[in-house]
């Protein structure tokens, strides 16, 4: 069950909100005028979130390499180098750009910056991916 608190609690009970975020080890959603406005989380939770994003990014790259049939050149049985077409490399670069933009959008949203919607960013990046193919 998500933890939801009004913004007045953040203003009047900041220490309690901090304690709740640490004890529950979950983000605390702050509402303003009845709508979601920001998220408060412990640094430990935020660090794990960043590591998870990095892991998913690496997993996506590995899956793309496997699907495209890239050749892995190994040294002593350990992956040492990858050989791929320039077109595939370009697509990988676009995917990495996508993950970077997603991470940036999530960080901006977490900090309260409205900016562009994630959906808008995804539409633009999918368009770029199709154009590169």
pLDDT tens, residue by residue, 1-15: 789 999 999 899 998
pTM above 0.75, yes or no: no
> Does residue 68 share a domain with residue 30?
no
- How far apart (Å, rounded) are the C-alpha atoms in residues 133 and 130? 5
Q: Give 83's strand partners.
A: 71
Give the count of beta carbons closer than 10 Å to the beta carbon of residue 60: 15
Q: Sheet holding 3-6: strands in order across?
A: 3-6, 28-32, 35-40
Tell me which residue range forms the domain holding 63.
Answer: 49-133
Q: Evaluate if residue 95 carries a pLDDT over 60.
A: yes
Q: What domain count does the chain have?
A: 2
> Does residue 130 share a domain with residue 83?
yes
> Does residue 15 share a domain with residue 53?
no
Contacts of 84 (CB under 8 A, 6+ apart): 65, 68, 70, 71, 92
pLDDT in tens, 24-61: 998 899 999 988 889 998 888 888 888 888 888 888 87
Phi, psi of 62, deg, nearest 5 = -65, -40
> Does residue 85 share a domain with residue 117?
yes
> Does residue 28 share a domain with residue 84?
no
> Does residue 57 share a domain with residue 28?
no
> Does residue 6 share a domain with residue 53?
no
> Does residue 92 share a domain with residue 31?
no
């Amino acid at each position: 069950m998500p933890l939801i608190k009004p913004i007045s609690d953040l203003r009047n009970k900041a220490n309690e909100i901090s304690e709740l975020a640490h004890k529950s080890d979950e983000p605390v959603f702050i509402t303003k005028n009845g709508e979601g406005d920001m998220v408060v989380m412990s640094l430990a939770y935020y660090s794990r979130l960043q590591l998870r994003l990095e892991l998913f990014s690496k997993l996506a790259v590995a899956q793309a390499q496997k699907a495209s049939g890239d050749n892995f050149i190994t040294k002593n049985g350990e992956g040492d180098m990858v050989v791929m077409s320039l077109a595939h490399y370009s697509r990988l670069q676009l995917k990495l750009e996508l993950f970077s933009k997603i991470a940036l959008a999530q960080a901006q949203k977490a900090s309260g910056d409205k900016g562009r919607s994630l959906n808008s960013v995804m539409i633009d990046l999918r368009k770029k991916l199709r154009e590169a193919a």
